[in-house]
Amino acid sequence: GQQLNQSPQSMFIQEGEDVSMNCTSSSIFNTWLWYKQDPGEGPVLLIALYKAGELTSNGRLTAQFGITRKDSFLNISASIPSDVGIYFCAGQPNLNNAGNMLTFGGGTRLMVKP
Amino acid sequence: NAGVTQTPKFQVLKTGQSMTLQCAQDMNHNSMYWYRQDPGMGLRLIYYSASEGTTDKGEVPNGYNVSRLNKREFSLRLESAAPSQTSVYFCASSEVLGGGGYTFGSGTRLTVV
């Protein structure tokens, strides 16, 4: 089946630093999504991307849909303690085929030192 | 608040016991899913229901059964719990199968001893 490789697996950064993480696939996706999971909670959708090359922001978060359709990137600027959590990428192969479900990456665990 | 509600939040079972995890959504979504989350493994799909009256196996269905009771409710049953089923279980729903962003519940943390 399709695989999403997400990196890094974990990051321990200082408050105020910028963060970058990415997700790559061996096959093409037509939708990319980024989720955040707070400790003890379920994942919550942060950003959805629907077009190759698209760059979308949500506050301090910016995500990009790679031109090749095989990767996506998430950046967090000026990190704060509440950014702590696990970030998941997810891809959907074909927007028009309802039979193709989301594939999730393994997650990036972010820890922020005040 | 609208969303996906899971019960219970925590459960400890002895090996061989059975239990049902409950999930309900109030967003009129057609599709529902059960995932398990293990350290370093991300989210793995157990079963899903494209619409009321249908259910299908996901990536890791062995040891589980599901019931789509109605459009709102999708339950996950462990008939004979094993330690390998110790995990955090998440229910999710979406408007159509695979479509757009899923809405997740807050999870059930299950320990099998």
Q: Measure A37 CA to nearest chain B CA, in Å.
A: 10
pLDDT at B79 exceeding the cut of 90:
yes
Q: What is the mean pLDDT of residues B86-102?
A: 88
- Closest partner residue to B98 (CB to CB) among A48, A88, A101 is A101
Highest-pLDDT range among A39-48, A89-98, B32-41:
A39-48
Model pLDDT for residues A28-48, shown as the tens digit of each residue: 898 999 999 998 899 999 999
Nearest to B93 by CA among B85, B101, B102: B102
- CB of A7 within 8 Å of a chain B CB? The answer is no
Tokens linked to B66 = 């599901």
pLDDT at A1 exceeding the cut of 70:
no
Is residue A111 within 8 Å of A12, Cβ to Cβ? yes
Q: What is the mean pLDDT of residues A13-30?
A: 94
Q: Which amino acid is at A78?
A: A
CB pairs under 8 A between A and B: 53
Whole-angstrom distance, CA of residue A101 vs CA of residue B1: 26
In chain B, what percentage of residues exceed pLDDT 90? 85
The beta strand positions in A55-107, using DSSP E, are: 55-58, 61-65, 71-76, 85-92, 103-104
- CB of B45 within 8 Å of a chain A CB? The answer is yes
At B1, is the pLDDT very low, low, confident or very high (cuts 50, 70, 90)?
A: low
Q: Give A-chain residues touching B23 at CB under 8 angstroms.
A: none
Nearest to B24 by CA among B109, B110, B111, B103: B103
Provide the pLDDT for residue B41: 73
